[in-house]
Amino acid sequence: MVIVLKGAEAIIKALEAEGVKIIFGYPGGAILPFYDALYDSDLIHILTRHEQAAAHAADGFARASGEAGVCVSTSGPGATNLVTGIATAYADSSPVIALTGQVPTKLIGNDAFQEIDALGLFMPITKHNFQLKKPEEIPETFRAAFEIATTGRPGPVHIDIPKDVQTGEIDLEKYPIPAKVDLPGYKPKTVGHPLQIKKAIRLLSEAEKPVIIAGGGVIISGAHEELYRIVELLKIPVATTLMGKGAFPEDHPLSLGMLGMHGTKAANYAVTEADLILAIGCRFSDRVVGNPEEFAPNAKIIHIDIDPAEIGKNIRVDVPIVGDAKNVLRSMLMGLSKENIKVKESWLERIRYLKESSIPMMDFNDKPIKPQRFVKELMSLLEGKKFIITTDVGQNQMWIAHYFKFKCPRSLISSGGLGTMGFGFPAAIGAKVAKPGNKVICITGDGGFLMNSQELATVAEYNIPVVICVFDNRTLGMVYQWQNLYYNKKQSEVHLGESPDFVRLAESYGVKADRVSSPDEIREKLEEAIKSDEPYLLDIVIDPAEALPMVPPGDKLTNIVKPERVEPRVKSIKFKDIERVRIEKESVSY
């Protein structure tokens, strides 16, 4: 029996064959045949109000579920608007499939209306890149795209789809869906070399001051249980990267918290003093390492990673192990169980001291609200519940990273590698769609929220019950902190002014909203928002001068600088000042 479909219909069928049920996107001329076919399909499409938000939502979906998220845009500006979101997914190894419309094949290269070199645009920010030339390529391309995106080190894959490929015909008898694909040259190594694993076991058994660094790879591979068993067996303290938060329960006595520039004192000092580092699924970024020459100066380093390109890239490694973290840790557990390894009590005592001596002392009842107080109340209200917290980027992100104790994987979704402002809110939409049974809370700064605040229309239209908590200090807080520390306290272009009123903004979209301006209001209003089971925005008026200690860029991890309290100084410029400058310029005679 001959089954002939339009290319656009075959794309729908290929997505369905991969188990896709929900996609995020924004239509336009070059992708209209796909949207025409979508109308008669069972796929659920969520219309975001900007393509960047579609990419972030697909990313949030992928990180919450472990499955590939899918986003769609038209050609030209639609494709360019996806770029920030796809680059964000690439930096954090998130499996996103990005579909872009394209002008008909005969017009490619002719500077047609809304044409862009999508292959060139996406090549450096994707794991792989395809451009379809005919409908018959659809089955194999889509099967390959999902295989590449979700295996090995995950990452985004882009498929560029010319309009005539969408309108052309394909015979499914000759080109069945799903296709069988062979990807020569793409064979991710998932099992660690046994000799390297033996070396790692020997070093672990000999170490006096071992520390584990758990990165995002532990969560991606589902290796958190194996990690926990190794920690319990050997009594090794665990520091995490930002992307690794949730890989190990942070209420555990051996949890050190986050490592690096914005890390905890306990984590930074323990890693610096260690004689052995077992790094799992982390890439030793500059924000984790500080000065590479002074990072863990007395330690031998075991590095487990599925991507061989990451091993030895930033930090010297004594025992490299290429493989999937879950498989490698399982093999290590088998070997370690045969060893008689004694717990190093003096090291554990040192770890206890580091943790106890770095507990911050503060008055949570201060006004304006300390963001730490809000995080404390949020953690209390979510105790015992299934939840996901997404963050934006900046101080809001660091307050969550420091003060919220995550206990399970995929409960924190944050932009780490690219540090993308505007990520948190649309990522929360994707996370809630992926995990409807979880409470989803977006923690965002006012600066980051304003970059994608239009998605209030999306949550209102689809009634997606996420809680948006805007830390409102009318300041680009992290930039403000850096300027105070390293730029002679010159606060240049970091003050956001008094517009908008976030409560009224949310209400204009039909989203419930409230303002929290006093510490004694936090719990009641936050509890109401979480229980409402509908979109809800809380405008949290926080202290603009509050800042966390940090390690200067490129410095050693133990040089933790506590910022001085500097009150905001607003340099006010109004249109009359701009007008005066322009009039003066235009009056000059040449």
Helices (H), 68-215: 77-91, 118-122, 138-150, 163-167, 194-206
114 is catalytic: yes
Q: Please report, in angstroms and rounded to a whole number, the separation of the first and last CA atoms in the chain.
A: 79
385 is catalytic: no
Question: Which H or E run contains 390?
Answer: strand 387-391
DSSP sequence for 291-347:
SGGGSSTT-EEEEEES-GGGTTTSS--SEEEES-HHHHHHHHHHHHTTS-PPP-HHH
258 is catalytic: no
CA–CA separation, 472 and 124 (whole Å): 35
* Torsion from C-alpha of 170, 175, 181, 183, nearest 10 degrees: -50
For β-strands 512-516 and 169-171, DSSP reports them as unpaired
395 is catalytic: no
Catalytic residue among 261, 398, 451, 478: 478
Going by C-alpha positions, the residue among 414, 412, 404 that lies closest to residue 388 is 412
Q: Which residues contact 31 (CB under 8 A, 6 or more apart)?
A: 72, 73, 74, 75, 78, 99, 100, 101, 161, 163, 166
Instruction: Count CB-CB contacts under 10 A for residue 17.
Output: 16
Catalytic residue among 21, 106, 113, 134: 113
472: left (phi over 0), alpha (psi -120 to 50) or beta: beta
Catalytic residue among 6, 13, 163, 370: 163
C-beta separation of 71 from 96 below 8 A: yes
CA–CA separation, 173 and 171 (whole Å): 5
The pair of structure tokens assigned to 156 is: 């985004």
Inter-residue long-range contacts of 35-41, CB under 8 Å, 24+ positions, other chains counted: 36/8, 37/6, 37/8, 37/9, 37/11, 37/12, 37/166, 38/8, 38/12, 41/12, 41/16
The pair of structure tokens assigned to 397 is: 């992100």
Peptide bond into 33 cis (omega under 30): no
Q: How large is the C-alpha radius of gyration of the chain?
A: 25
For β-strands 169-171 and 4-6, DSSP reports them as antiparallel
DSSP lists the bridge partners of residue 369 as 542
The pair of structure tokens assigned to 428 is: 């929360």
491 is catalytic: no
C-beta separation of 135 from 167 below 8 A: no
Catalytic residue among 18, 51, 226, 273: 51
C-beta separation of 409 from 249 below 8 A: no
CA–CA separation, 161 and 135 (whole Å): 9
Peptide bond into 184 cis (omega under 30): no
- The residues carrying an active-site annotation are 51, 113-114, 163, 478
